[in-house]
Structure 1
Amino acid sequence: MSPADTVVVTGAGKGIGTAIAHRLAADGRHVWCVDVLADRAEETARALREAGGEATGAHCDVGDPGSVTALWDRLAVAGPVSGLVNNAAVFPRGAALEIGLAEWQQVLAVNLTGAFLMCQAFARQASGSGAVVNVASGQAFRPLAGGAHYAAAKAGLVNLGRVLALEWGPLGLRVNTLVPGLVPSDQSRAAVDDAGFAAQATITPLGRLATPAEVAEGAATLLSASFVTGQVLVVDGGVLRL
């Protein structure tokens, strides 16, 4: 793998996104660590550089089309991008009857529309090859009460990946979907307590929850697997068994 290979990772400021950025940098890729919080993006990029990797921190709110355009304008100056990991997401909780239209639209804007716009921008600059990994959720297949907007957006992301794989395969572009299981992180801890984590571990065939590094391994695999596209890779210890 050439050090010139550049991958954009959204939501790289924490949790799974940070782990993916570290794994890809360790693989020899130049990682653009993108986050809605610029200081977190740069913190991740700095850690990668201190570990001997190549990384750039960048701000982008994927829920804002103008912010997405600004990011790709900057990337166009920096050089071609060979890979994209759409990991940025928001995960609010609420009963369906209590979700307001503004909240519904914001969740879809970040979790689905933002990923679509990032994919479009990536494909438009690609020149003959490249790979996208969209990070979905087990809730795309087995949703829980209290997150209708989140589950709907993640289900949409799965089928978005399948359609893009069909349309963009002739262009030399691969598009796959990564489905992590429940991973203890700042985001998940806002919605799941310790008892919830323990309960999930008990129904997992491997008997425990994944680490962010194990999910990152799945992302790296999908980026590198040159004849795999339109697929869904579940990294949840065997819970879904799709």
Structure 2
Amino acid sequence: MSTSKTWLVTGGSRGIGRAVVENATARGDRVAVFARKPATEQWTHPERVVEIPTDISDASSLGLAVDTVFETFGSLDVVVNAAGVHRGGRIGDVSRTHWDEVLATNLTGAFELARSVVPRLNEGASIINVGAVVGFRGFPGDVAYGAAKAGLNGLTQVLAVELAPRGIRVNLVIPGVVDTDMTSALAGRARDRLIAAIPMGRTGLAEEIAQVIVGVTDSTYMTGSIVATDGGLMSSFSSRS
């Protein structure tokens, strides 16, 4: 009897999402990848990956993409919400357009995806939401992103309670500063100051976050948990409060 799983990873064409896809397929699992743009590098196991162009901020597009997943695989065991958009700006500077864009992708997209997949998830399935330290600790200039990620934590907690009777687990993994396309714009003194606040003294790798996500997926008694994988960044900010 096969023990392989079927995965859905949003934002799976790059960064943390891509690392999750590579980790899952290396185990022999099959993965549907939702992303606005296709992957720019060849997959290690392309026969186990199905890329479905999807804008998760568009509910109708998302619904059609989810239908395609079930038509292709027939079932779904793991959902990873790794898609994210970042737009910086303090409260007096961030535009309403950027605010709406960040909330639509980072929070509302996760909500709509859950509504679409939950009725069809296998018993014992796992949902992993990818949060951010800024959802728990204030960073000036991150009002939209911080609000979205804080909301994602709330969504995780409620879903964990609602879905536990079906054996569906919902957890939140919190990366710190990870070397991805999203963080590539952070440079110079701003980057140096942030790294200086990380007790481990370095940024993380997407592969390191992916390992934790896969581990949380395999943890059959874990739900509603907040799993920081940030080199100690959250602890560092706590100690300064």
What TM-score, normalized to structure 1? Answer: 0.91
Q: How does 1:3-152 map to 2 (within 5 A)?
A: 4-37=4-37, 39-40=38-39, 43=40, 46-50=42-46, 54-78=48-72, 79-152=74-147
Give the superposition deviation at 1:118. 1.0
Q: Deviations over 1:172-214 (max 9, x none)?
A: 1000001000012211112x11433333332222222211110
Which residue, out of 155, 169, 176, partners 1:174? 169
Aligned partners of 1:129 and 1:172 also within 8 Å: yes
Give the superposition deviation at 1:2. 4.0
Q: SS at 1:175's partner residue?
A: strand
Give the superposition deviation at 1:115. 0.5
Q: 1: CA distance between counterparts of 2:187 and 2:165?
A: 45
Q: Deviations over 1:62-110 (max 9, x none)?
A: 1000111011111121210100000101001122212222221121110
Which residue, out of 206, 209, 219, partners 1:212? 206
Gaps spanning 5+ residues in structure 1: where? none
Q: SS at 1:96's partner residue?
A: coil
Q: 1: CA distance between counterparts of 2:2 and 2:95?
A: 47
- The answer on 1:160 being equivalent to 2:155 is yes
Q: 2: CA distance between counterparts of 1:16 and 1:194?
A: 23
What residue identity is the alignment partner of 2:138?
P
Aligned residue pairs total 235
Q: 2: CA distance between counterparts of 1:140 and 1:73?
A: 31
Give the RMSD, CA atoms, in angstroms: 1.7
Aligned partners of 1:86 and 1:135 also within 8 Å: yes
What TM-score, normalized to structure 2? Answer: 0.91
Q: 2: CA distance between counterparts of 1:3 and 1:194?
A: 47
The residue aligned with 1:225 is 219
Q: SS at 2:128's partner residue?
A: strand
Aligned partners of 1:10 and 1:35 also within 8 Å: yes
Q: 2: CA distance between counterparts of 1:110 and 1:2?
A: 35
Q: 1:163 to 1:196 in 2, by over 3 A?
A: same
Gaps spanning 5+ residues in structure 2: where? none
Q: SS at 1:163's partner residue?
A: helix
Aligned partners of 1:92 and 1:150 also within 8 Å: yes
The residue aligned with 1:236 is 230
Identical amino acids, percent of aligned pairs: 30
Q: 1:103 to 1:201 in 2, by over 3 A?
A: closer
Aligned partners of 2:8 and 2:80 also within 8 Å: yes
Superposition misfits of 4+ residues, deviation over 6 angstroms: none
